[in-house]
Chains A and B, each alone.
Chain A
Amino acid sequence: MRAVDIIGVGMFPFGVHKTTPLVEMGVRAAVEAIKDAGVKPSQINIGFFANMQAGNLTKEFTTGQAVMWGAGVNKVPVFNIENACTSGASATTLAMMSIASGQYDLALVVGAEKLNVPFVPLLNPSMRDINVLEGNVVINGFAQRAVRHMYEYGTTKEQLAMVDVKNRRNALLNPKAKFFNKPVTLEEVLGSTMMSDPLTKLSCCPNSDGAAALVLCAAELSSRYTTRPIHLKASVLVSGVFDEWPDMQTFEEDQRAGRTAYETAGLGPEDVSAAECHDAFTICEVMHTENLGFCPIGEGGPFVESGATSLGGKIPVNVSGGLLGKGHPLGATAAAQIVEGVIQLRGEAGDRQVEGAKVFLTECMGAELRGDAKTCTVNILTV
């Protein structure tokens, strides 16, 4: 198998873009990534387009080909990928496999999502799912994890709220994070509308529009295009267990995907300089820091409170602003996490730069079946 690099990244700012069509956001991110990579569109051998809700919300399908052609890529194989919140990372895994296999040399990944349409229903994975018919919606699943985590480990609602305060502060340093453009206080997070106890409105990521793109290249060819390739050491996708005994206080999928990614990269959690994770709700980040091995299980609350995950801390988490700070354009989110990793490892992150970053981990998780995550991804990037 061949080693794979990331040689170009692009991003259409995450925010509210009511008048910008889905395809345009994807095209603009793709063009930025292609130019950043220093390649011509005609050199791209294969394309992967990630999106989750276009069929529901803007009534579009097989959108990838329109996005790719908008950025000058035609004729080559294009795949349209839907894997909930991990769609962008799932597309990246496929792009990596296509190059590692030796079959293709240059792959384009684009993730894009448009959520700011007149009516967005509460998300659920299937109207016929028995848990959905019995009252489960996405926020409830994470509230149940928060309730269990607080019961089992003594995590406090203040510690949960600190995740949002931190990520909103980080987002202010990211010119591509355009949703809030202002910080938030602990009191504001705790005092906002109660959605599903203990998660308040500001404990939940908002619905952003946006897009992110990556150009992947066979490592043996990267020097033709760039002097600063970022190495994609591991790109792992796993599915849940789905058995009769769902566990609400750990993320088994994180542990399993993380273990495979660390082994593939020949690295461990102690080597990670900084990370992005799926902080769709505050409790998520607390649990991800535990289950990816950054702190012991049950200690994610004190870990965020200690400042370990803040910029300048032991292992900064969601320095881009995360989902809480940037919003969550579903199909674009996991690709944007990898874009942030590349920017950080190049040392181009400006005021939010993690000093001396050498290893960057991104984690994402999407949709639920029988109390487990349907899909979970871990990517590890190195300089």
Chain B
Amino acid sequence: MSSDLKPMLDGIFEVGPPPRLLGAECPICERKFFPKPIVCPHCLEDVKEIKLNTEGTVYSFSILRIPNMLYKYPQPYASGYIDLDGDNIRVYGLFDPEKTEEIAIGQRVTLKVGQIGIGLDGEECLRYYFTPVDGGGK
């Protein structure tokens, strides 16, 4: 991984290793969030940053087979929702572009970070993505 690439947005994840998604927790209602909200929308209080669990289970997914020029993702690519272990939170993310056809509901996945597509400034950037645990092999 080229070290001078930047995340597609600041404050979303730590590159690592190991990579971690940066979420938030409200000190009042203890709800967890991803990404970090401006304030807790339930309590309107400042939230504290937390590192979210790195493993989870695929809740649902899609495979886009037509080009998406918006951020120059690989074609095709899979993305969808992952239920993170223990954090009681469902996050959206890309799936490993090398393992697109292995993604299924219930698949166990783990967090990675790598160069995928371009950022808001049009430059290549780092994105978080989930890859099948144990390397997949469905």
Are B68 and A137 interface neighbours, CB within 8 A? yes
**Interface status of B64 (Cβ within 8 A of chain A):** yes
A263 to B66, CA, bound (A): 43
A135 pairs with B68, CB closer than 8 A = yes
What residues of chain B lie closer than 8 Å to A140, measured between beta carbons?
62, 64, 79-80
B108 CB within 8 Å of chain A: no
Report the stretch among A10-18, A36-44, A144-152, A264-272 that lies at the interface. A144-152
Closest beta carbon of chain B to A311's beta carbon, Å: 32
- Chain B residues within 8 Å of chain A by Cβ, number: 37
Q: Is the CB of B88 within 8 A of A244?
A: yes
Distance in angstroms between the alpha carbons of A126 and B87 in the assembled complex: 26
Given the known A-B contacts A128-B9, A245-B90, are A144 and B60 also in contact in the complex, defined by CB atoms under 8 Å?
Answer: yes
- How would residues 114 to 128 of chain A score, 1 for a CB under 8 Å from any chain B CB and 0 otherwise? 000000011010011
In this complex, the interface size class of chain A, counting residues with CB under 8 Å from chain B, is: 20 to 34
Asked if A131 is at the interface (CB within 8 A of a chain B CB), the reply is yes
CB pair A144 B77 closer than 8 Å: no
In Å, the complex CA distance between A335 and B102 comes to 43
* Contact of A148 with B59 in the complex, beta carbons under 8 Å: yes
Interface check A221, CB cutoff 8 A? no
- Report whether over half of chain B's contact residues are helix, strand or loop; otherwise say mixed: strand
Is residue A246 contacting chain B, with contact meaning CB distance below 8 A? yes
Query: CB of B93 within 8 A of chain A?
Result: yes
* B80-91 near A? 1/0 per residue, CB < 8 Å: 110000001110
Q: B6-21, CB under 8 A of A: which get 1 and which 0? A: 0011001000000000
Interface residues of A in 129-146 (CB under 8 A from B): 130-137, 139-141, 143-145
- Tell me the minimal C-beta distance from B57 to chain A in angstroms: 13
Residues of A within 8 A of B (CB): 121-122, 124, 127-128, 130-137, 139-141, 143-145, 147-148, 151, 193-197, 242, 244-246, 248, 371
Q: B residues near A, CB below 8 A?
A: 8-9, 12, 31-35, 41, 59-66, 68-71, 73, 77-81, 88-90, 92-94, 105, 120, 127-128
